Amino acid sequence: MAEKINKNYKYKPLKALQKEEIVQGIVSCDTAILSRAITLLESVKKEDKAIIYDAIKSIPNPKKPSFKIGITGSPGVGKSTFIETFGKYLGEKNYKVAVLAIDPSSSLTGGSILGDKTRMEQLSNLPNVYIRPTPSKGELGGVANQSYETILLCEKAGFDIILVETVGVGQSETHVKALVDFFLLLILPGAGDELQGIKRGIMELADGLLITKADGENITKAKMAKSNYQNAMHLFPGGKNNWIPKILTCSSLENKGIGDTWDMINAFKEHTLNNGWLAANRQQQRHFWFKEKLDDLIKSDFYEKNNIKDQIKQLKNQIDCGDLDPFNAAMQVFNYYES
Amino acid sequence: MAEKINKNYKYKPLKALQKEEIVQGIVSCDTAILSRAITLLESVKKEDKAIIYDAIKSIPNPKKPSFKIGITGSPGVGKSTFIETFGKYLGEKNYKVAVLAIDPSSSLTGGSILGDKTRMEQLSNLPNVYIRPTPSKGELGGVANQSYETILLCEKAGFDIILVETVGVGQSETHVKALVDFFLLLILPGAGDELQGIKRGIMELADGLLITKADGENITKAKMAKSNYQNAMHLFPGGKNNWIPKILTCSSLENKGIGDTWDMINAFKEHTLNNGWLAANRQQQRHFWFKEKLDDLIKSDFYEKNNIKDQIKQLKNQIDCGDLDPFNAAMQVFNYYES
């Protein structure tokens, strides 16, 4: 029986968190502290970030890394329902499960992401499941980077499995792929038109395709979709992990295909543990975020220091008129501030 | 009958090019000057870059933009042969054609890219076709950015069509897509295993798929591949240009399917001219490169000024040991040099 997580929901006055409080809270998997720590990560205040970054340094590494599953699909595909069903399945197997959402752009797509928490009621009542809903607003670009830190916090809190929901638009494929071990794409049964809502390129990231809502009248359509995708997948370039993406059907309504999905993910885990990809990929991901973060710090320092938004806008206009080419425009901004 | 380009190949002592010489050379489409101007772009010397950037500012914009076609596919798919055949076809239609190669990583893949110029002999003999072979060596990262400038130089020299060959590995999809109007993926007939050599994600960039070597014993396989891809393509999310990628077969050997390829590209051009995507995309590309270039300048300034390669390597080791997390490592580098 897995250790329970510490759902300490009783009211406490929200004094600013201190470093030691965070460290102890994360080590004991106190989800109230975890939530507030994540809020600090999302804060735009430099003091907040300094505290949480400092705390993270002092939190010991978990005994074993979490297994991170990215879940995406177009709005309406049934992501929330699937996550609720799948999360419950994992929770009942006594895994400690964290459910996170990353989506800098949900407002653009109209799709809510972990938004309707009423649907998650059963899941959130499980003692070993933690749900972190969408940050209420995210600065584009910023959120993607904080996602990595958020996941790391959950990892240090000792979760076995982290489900990372993403809408699959807005973020770059590279960024999303750099967050998770396994990437699951949910697809509606049908002629493929439903895919219009997701970003091109997402399909080729998927380690598994799951055709949802395979129940009632949809069953025939779902089976056909499965066979179509099966035929299509072998036309695709394989990933470096040497894993051929699997295609399954499921019904969250009838609770079908959920165990199969977990079996597939376990098969992937075993496969990539054995061929060394899982460890190598996690190392690459850490290096990627190191570089990404450093680049971000350097760039935002330049942009903030110089407050050049207006100038950039004006130069874009000049580029649009054909008066200036993009790289001379870039040199102009750069030289102006550096010289 | 289109104007000829100025293939001024007689020997001249290679005095350093002056700005005025470049401007006049490009305006008169003198390919000897064009080649040397591109060499300046590829130079690592700041003086060289300063001259060519300054010159570009003074070269008037072309009467109409070039139509830029990206061509990719795994090694052995027949890219060079196709480009030779297709280039000749376009050249004989009196288009002014430039053939460029971008590939920062050909040494990694073993695929030569425009390398075997003997195969291009007929093409390079055409009076209105200019071929720029691979830069002999490229610094990773740098080349992608110079590709845009190289293409712009050709555009200002008045080429109607620019064929941009890329191996499709190494570069990010975003960067390649930001260089061209139409993206053509060459595929060998077969079971799809040949796709192993190209990068995941490339498939979904394609505006057209061309199954090569559809001749002799291959014809049946090619037809089957066409039908397989046809079935697969409708499962894919469509691009913003609202164009459904077409799938064709060709034989460069028997000169078949070349006209069809051109017809497809023309249909795409008409489609995207009409729906406004072509112009909008070109504007986005210019903004993308402006931002990209500025970011590059800011980052390389920081990296060069501080000469932090060793430090980065050391921090990566610390990250690998689990002593440090990626973003605290990034902060450490940044704060060290900024404070």
- Residue A90 · residue A53 · CB < 8 Å: no
What is the distance between the alpha carbons of residues A143 and A128, in angstroms, rounded to a whole number? 26
Q: With 60 as the cut, is the pLDDT of residue A142 above it?
A: no
Q: With 60 as the cut, is the pLDDT of residue A137 above it?
A: no
pLDDT at residue number B119? 59
Q: What is the mean pLDDT of residues A21-40?
A: 93
- Which of B231, B290, B319 is facing A326, going by the closest CB pair? B290
Measured between beta carbons, the chain A residues lying within 8 angstroms of B287 are 316, 319, 326
Is pLDDT larger for residue A241 or for residue A162?
A: A162
Joined tokens for residue A104: 């800098």
Per-residue pLDDT tens digits for B288-318: 999 999 998 898 888 877 768 888 899 999 9
% helix / strand / coil in chain B, to the nearest 5?
55, 10, 35
Per-residue pLDDT tens digits for B8-63: 655 555 677 889 999 999 999 999 999 999 989 888 788 888 999 999 999 999 98
Which one, of B11, B3, B15, lies nearest residue B40 by Cα? B15
Helix (H, G, I), strand (E, B) or coil at B306: helix
- Residue B36 · residue B59 · CB < 8 Å: no
What is the distance between the alpha carbons of residues B309 and A316, in angstroms, rounded to a whole number? 34
Residue of chain B whose alpha carbon sits nearest to that of A53: B328
Q: Strand pairing partners for A100?
A: A132, A164
Amino acid at A175: H
Where is average pLDDT lowest: A166-170, A191-195, A214-218? A191-195
Name the phi and psi angles at A206, rounded to 5: -65, 135
Per-residue pLDDT tens digits for A83-119: 999 999 999 999 999 999 775 443 333 344 445 554 5
What is the distance between the alpha carbons of residues B311 and B16, in angstroms, rounded to a whole number? 38
Report the 10 Å Cβ neighbour count for B115.
15
Report the 10 Å Cβ neighbour count for B42.
19
B335 confidence band (pLDDT: 50, 70, 90):
confident
Joined tokens for residue A140: 């584009």
Q: With 60 as the cut, is the pLDDT of residue B108 above it?
A: no
Is pLDDT larger for residue B145 or for residue B217?
A: B217
Question: What mean pLDDT, rounded, does chain A reach?
Answer: 82
Is pLDDT larger for residue B216 or for residue A260?
A: A260
Measured between beta carbons, the chain B residues lying within 8 angstroms of A228 are 231, 235
- Which of A238, A294, A319 is facing B334, going by the closest CB pair? A294
Joined tokens for residue A213: 């809502």
Helix (H, G, I), strand (E, B) or coil at B220: helix
- Strand order in A246-249's β-sheet? A129-132, A97-102, A161-166, A67-72, A182-187, A208-211, A246-249
Are A334 and B301 within 8 A, CB to CB? yes
Measured between beta carbons, the chain B residues lying within 8 angstroms of A174 are 172
Instruction: Say how many CB pairs under 8 Å bridge A and B.
Output: 180
% of residues, chain B, pLDDT over 90: 44
**Residue ranges of domains in chain B:** 1-60, 61-275, 286-338
Going along chain B, which residue ranges are E strands? 67-72, 97-102, 129-132, 161-166, 182-187, 208-211, 246-249
Q: How many CA atoms lie within 13 A of B212 on its CB side?
A: 24
pLDDT at residue number B195? 54
Joined tokens for residue B117: 């110029």
DSSP for A110-177 reads ---SS--GGGGHHHHHSTTEEEE---S---TTHHHHHHHHHHHHHHHTT-SEEEEEE-SSSS-HHHHH
Q: Strand pairing partners for B71?
A: B165, B184
Is pLDDT larger for residue B176 or for residue A332?
A: A332
pLDDT at residue number B173? 65
Are A286 and B204 within 8 A, CB to CB? no
Measured between beta carbons, the chain B residues lying within 8 angstroms of A56 are 325, 328
Mutate to test the interface with B, among A230, A236, A292, A320 (most CBs of B within 10 A): A236
Measured between beta carbons, the chain A residues lying within 8 angstroms of B328 are 53, 56-57
Residue of chain A whose alpha carbon sits nearest to that of B64: A322
What is the distance between the alpha carbons of residues B320 and B331, in angstroms, rounded to a whole number? 17
pLDDT at residue number A140? 36
Are B231 and A231 within 8 A, CB to CB? yes
A46 confidence band (pLDDT: 50, 70, 90):
confident
Beta strand pairing call for A67-72 and A182-187: parallel
What is the distance between the alpha carbons of residues B164 and B147, in angstroms, rounded to a whole number? 9
Q: Which residues contact A321 (CB under 8 A, 6 or more apart)?
A: none
| Tokens 């079971």 -> residue | B191
Measured between beta carbons, the chain B residues lying within 8 angstroms of A232 are 231-232, 235
Q: Strand pairing partners for A249?
A: A211
Is pLDDT larger for residue A77 or for residue A117?
A: A77
Between the CA of residue A304 and those of A68, A313, A318, A329, B42, what are the distances in Å? Answer: 34, 15, 22, 19, 31
- Which of B191, B327, B329 is facing A149, going by the closest CB pair? B327
Measured between beta carbons, the chain A residues lying within 8 angstroms of B301 are 334, 338
Q: With 80 as the cut, is the pLDDT of residue A19 above it?
A: yes
% of residues, chain A, pLDDT over 90: 44
Per-residue pLDDT tens digits for B197-211: 556 667 778 899 999
B255 confidence band (pLDDT: 50, 70, 90):
confident
Give the closest-approach CA distance of B130 to chain A in angstroms.
23
pLDDT at residue number A9? 56
What is the distance between the alpha carbons of residues B28 and B24, in angstroms, rounded to a whole number? 6
Q: What is the mean pLDDT of residues A214-230?
A: 88
Are B234 and A287 within 8 A, CB to CB? no
Which one, of A130, A101, A82, lies nearest residue A249 by Cα? A82
Q: What is the mean pLDDT of residues B111-130?
A: 70
pLDDT at residue number B112? 45
Give the closest-approach CA distance of B148 to chain A in angstroms.
9
Where is average pLDDT lowest: A87-96, A325-334, B95-104, B212-221? B95-104
DSSP for A191-203 reads SSGGGGGSPTTSG
pLDDT at residue number B176? 77
Are A200 and B198 within 8 A, CB to CB? no
Is pLDDT larger for residue A176 or for residue B318?
A: B318
Are A56 and B325 within 8 A, CB to CB? yes
| Element (DSSP H or E) covering residue A289 | helix A277-306
Joined tokens for residue A7: 């759902």
pLDDT at residue number A311? 87
Per-residue pLDDT tens digits for B150-159: 999 999 999 9
Runs of H (alpha helix) within A250-276: 258-274
Joined tokens for residue B311: 């430090």
- Which of B231, B322, B326 is facing A293, going by the closest CB pair? B326
Question: What mean pLDDT, rounded, does chain B reach?
Answer: 82
Are A326 and B198 within 8 A, CB to CB? no
Give the closest-approach CA distance of A283 to chain B in angstroms.
7
Give the closest-approach CA distance of B237 to chain A in angstroms.
5
CATH code of the region A1-60: 1.20.5
The 8-class DSSP code of residue B162 comes to: E
Is pLDDT larger for residue B199 or for residue A23?
A: A23
| Element (DSSP H or E) covering residue A248 | strand A246-249
- Which of B149, B173, B302 is facing A327, going by the closest CB pair? B149
Is pLDDT larger for residue B81 or for residue A90?
A: A90
% of residues, chain B, pLDDT over 70: 81
CATH topology of domain A61-274: Rossmann fold (3.40.50)
Measured between beta carbons, the chain A residues lying within 8 angstroms of B202 are 237
Amino acid at A41: L
Cα dihedral sign, A308-A311-A315-A320: positive
Which one, of A262, A260, A290, A266, lies nearest residue A278 by Cα? A266
Give the closest-approach CA distance of A329 to chain B in angstroms.
7
Give the closest-approach CA distance of B118 to chain A in angstroms.
31
Q: Strand pairing partners for A162?
A: A68, A98
Are B148 and A327 within 8 A, CB to CB? yes
pLDDT at residue number B181? 97
Mutate to test the interface with B, among A290, A301, A337 (most CBs of B within 10 A): A290
- Strand order in B208-211's β-sheet? B129-132, B97-102, B161-166, B67-72, B182-187, B208-211, B246-249
CATH topology of domain B61-275: Rossmann fold (3.40.50)
Give the closest-approach CA distance of B122 to chain A in angstroms.
33
Measured between beta carbons, the chain A residues lying within 8 angstroms of B154 are none
Q: With 90 as the cut, is the pLDDT of residue B177 above it?
A: no
